[in-house]
């Protein structure tokens, strides 16, 4: 069935008409681990890691693929990423500490963020982090002072905002001039000069990130053109050598049947060809290329599984199907207006004869996961499976209405492994003080 193409690579229908992921019956997983439940398919995750490395490196040998942890990371996921040869893009001491806890190679970790704290920078230097992506003049001066105090000389990149519109949601557009992130390109020269004249810092390259869910190649090509031209100018004025060019991530993921995303090869071909041709034109040595996918690596690997409770049919208005999760575990529909598909996991091949709206259980009218979707007839006790939930659902999860954050399982070859237990009521009050 066509809906399965949005699910992990191992998705299939068994003889009971149930959804299978990683050789596991999702209804049996629900019975064993409870719902809401997030299921990650190990095969899909590893396949996507390898695909990114292969598609870029075969076109541009000196490529590093750095996974954007903000999409989702815990210890088990970090171990898989390390085994697959990816680096990490972290944006907090918390993400950095998860990486350190499993012995992730710190030389392959890049530290981002528009307001890094002094203690975070000290921790990063103490861990021997690979790169610090400097975002602003305040951070540039602070890092220089900390490096001098500690005797470290970190390799840094400067994050530039090239003023390119990625044609995505305004909340996830980060490369425009009106952005909290990065040095606006007009102030880039002063940033290069200051970085090169700070004894404790080693400026190795430049970085930009345009946003998320970018379906076209043009924003990347435009930004690369601006940044490489800027690098050539800085070479002439300051003898700046561009050793690394980090083009960020933002590669699209298909969330719905009517929004196909380009293959990774589409981005890889466009980005690498542009860099090679532009460097040849400007007489620049080819820099190391760094790409930072997050959603495009892990998004399809994750599935959210819910149990149906109340079905409220308002004649001639709407049929609400309420599930036992919602905006507390996936705020994206409420925050961004994000759209998803869904299936009834225990009625996978039945005809879709009823238009319904899948609502969450939380005290907000905006707690709606999917509006107006055709599904089979649904009753209390059925299971709803939502694909493409591997990215940004769990990292932005909350305890709204004092709800418990869901359990997470990793599936492969018919076996399910718990990689995060469901929260308990004791967890909710653990940090309260009377």
Mean pLDDT, residues 371-396 taken together: 97
- Residues 144, 201: contact at Cβ < 8 Å? yes
Where does the pLDDT of residue 88 fall: very low under 50, low under 70, confident under 90, or very high at 90 and above? Answer: very high
Q: What CA–CA distance (Å, rounded) separates 174 from 157?
A: 17
Q: What is the dihedral of CA 73, 79, 83, 87, to 10 degrees?
A: 40
Q: Which of 245, 243, 274 is nearest to 59 (CA)?
A: 274
Pairing of strands 288-291, 244-246: parallel
pLDDT above 50 (res 36): yes
Backbone angle region of 301, left / alpha / beta, with phi > 0 → left and psi within -120 to 50 → alpha: alpha
pLDDT tens for residues 96-152? Answer: 999 999 999 999 999 999 999 999 999 999 999 999 999 999 999 999 999 999 999
Centroid of chain to Cα 223? 21
pLDDT above 90 (res 179): no
Residue 143: count of CB within 10 angstroms of its CB = 25
User: 2-34+301-429: which CATH number, 2.170.190.11, 3.30.70.1400, 2.40.37.10, 3.60.20.10?
Assistant: 2.40.37.10
pLDDT for res 311: 97
pLDDT for res 103: 97
pLDDT tens for residues 72-84? Answer: 999 999 999 999 9
pLDDT for res 163: 79
Centroid of chain to Cα 52? 14
Which runs of E-coded beta strand occur in 139-296?
A: 155-161, 183-184, 202-207, 244-246, 288-291
pLDDT above 70 (res 374): yes
Q: What is the DSSP letter of 430?
A: T
pLDDT for res 177: 64
Q: The tokens of 92 are what?
A: 């907090």
Residue 302: count of CB within 10 angstroms of its CB = 27
pLDDT for res 263: 97
Bridge partners, 420 (sequence order): 408
Q: What CA–CA distance (Å, rounded) separates 358 from 367?
A: 9
- Residues 363, 272: contact at Cβ < 8 Å? no
Residue 151: count of CB within 10 angstroms of its CB = 8
Domains 2-34+301-429 and 42-298 share a fold: no
Q: Which of 272, 243, 294 is nearest to 130 (CA)?
A: 243
Q: Which of 428, 390, 365 is nearest to 68 (CA)?
A: 390
- Mean pLDDT, the chain, rounded, equals 95
Mean pLDDT, residues 3-10 taken together: 94
Torsion over CA: 164, 169, 173, 177 (sign): positive
Backbone angle region of 56, left / alpha / beta, with phi > 0 → left and psi within -120 to 50 → alpha: alpha
Q: Of all residues in the chain, what percent carry a pLDDT higher than 70?
A: 97
Where does the pLDDT of residue 173 fall: very low under 50, low under 70, confident under 90, or very high at 90 and above? Answer: very low
pLDDT above 70 (res 17): yes
What residues are annotated to the active site?
363
Q: The tokens of 126 are what?
A: 């103490």
pLDDT for res 169: 43
pLDDT for res 172: 41
Q: Of all residues in the chain, what percent carry a pLDDT higher than 90?
A: 93
For residue 223, give Cα distances in angstroms to 62, 124, 174, 206, 218.
Answer: 20, 29, 12, 12, 9
Where does the pLDDT of residue 204 fall: very low under 50, low under 70, confident under 90, or very high at 90 and above? Answer: very high
Mean pLDDT, residues 202-217 taken together: 94
- Residues 348, 387: contact at Cβ < 8 Å? no
Give me the CATH code for the 42-298 domain, please: 3.20.20.10
Residue spans of the domains in the chain: they are 2-34+301-429, 42-298
Q: What CA–CA distance (Å, rounded) separates 143 from 149?
A: 10
pLDDT above 90 (res 166): no
Lowest mean pLDDT, pick from 71-85, 158-172, 180-194, 266-280: 158-172
pLDDT above 60 (res 170): no
pLDDT for res 97: 96
CA angle 168–169–173, rounded 5-degree value: 70
Residue 163: count of CB within 10 angstroms of its CB = 16
pLDDT above 50 (res 171): no
């Amino acid at each position: 069935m066509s809906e399965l193409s949005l699910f992990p690579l191992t998705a299939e229908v068994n003889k009971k008409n149930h959804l299978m992921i990683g050789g596991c019956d999702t209804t049996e997983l629900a019975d064993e681990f409870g719902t809401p439940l997030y299921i990650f398919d190990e095969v899909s995750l590893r396949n996507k890691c390898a695909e990114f490395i292969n598609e870029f490196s075969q076109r541009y040998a000196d490529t590093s693929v750095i996974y954007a942890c903000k999409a989702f990371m815990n210890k088990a996921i970090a171990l898989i990423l390390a085994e697959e040869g990816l680096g990490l893009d972290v944006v907090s001491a918390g993400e950095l500490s998860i990486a350190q806890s499993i012995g992730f190679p710190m030389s392959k970790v890049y530290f981002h963020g528009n307001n890094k704290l002094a203690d975070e920078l000290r921790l990063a230097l103490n861990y021997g982090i690979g790169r610090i992506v400097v975002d602003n003049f305040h951070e540039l001066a602070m890092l220089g002072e900390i490096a001098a105090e500690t005797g470290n000389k970190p390799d840094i990149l400067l994050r530039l905002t090239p003023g390119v519109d990625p044609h995505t949601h305004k909340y996830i557009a980060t490369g425009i001039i009106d952005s909290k992130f990065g040095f606006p390109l007009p102030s880039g020269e002063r940033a290069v000069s200051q970085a090169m004249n700070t004894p404790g810092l080693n400026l190795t390259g430049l970085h930009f990130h345009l946003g998320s869910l970018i379906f076209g190649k043009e924003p990347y090509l435009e930004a690369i053109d601006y940044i490489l031209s800027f690098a050539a100018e800085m070479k002439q004025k300051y003898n700046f050598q561009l050793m690394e060019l980090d083009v960020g991530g933002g590669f699209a993921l298909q969330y719905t049947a009517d929004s196909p995303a380009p293959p990774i090869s589409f981005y890889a071909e466009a980005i690498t060809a542009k860099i090679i041709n532009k460097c040849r034109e400007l007489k620049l040595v080819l820099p190391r290329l760094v790409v930072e996918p997050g959603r495009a690596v892990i998004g399809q690997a994750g599935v959210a599984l819910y149990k149906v409770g109340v079905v409220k049919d308002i004649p001639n208005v709407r049929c609400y199907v309420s599930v036992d999760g919602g905006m507390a575990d996936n705020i994206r529909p409420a925050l961004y207006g994000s759209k998803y598909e869904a299936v009834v996991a225990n009625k996978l091949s039945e005809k879709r004869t009823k238009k319904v709206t899948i609502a969450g259980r939380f005290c907000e009218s905006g707690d709606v996961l999917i509006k107006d979707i055709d599904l089979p007839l649904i009753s209390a006790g059925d299971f709803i499976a939502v694909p493409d939930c591997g990215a940004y659902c769990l990292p932005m999860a909350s305890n709204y209405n004092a709800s418990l954050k869901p359990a997470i399982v990793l599936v492969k070859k018919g076996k399910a492994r718990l990689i995060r237990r469901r929260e308990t009521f004791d967890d909710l009050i653990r940090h309260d003080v009377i």
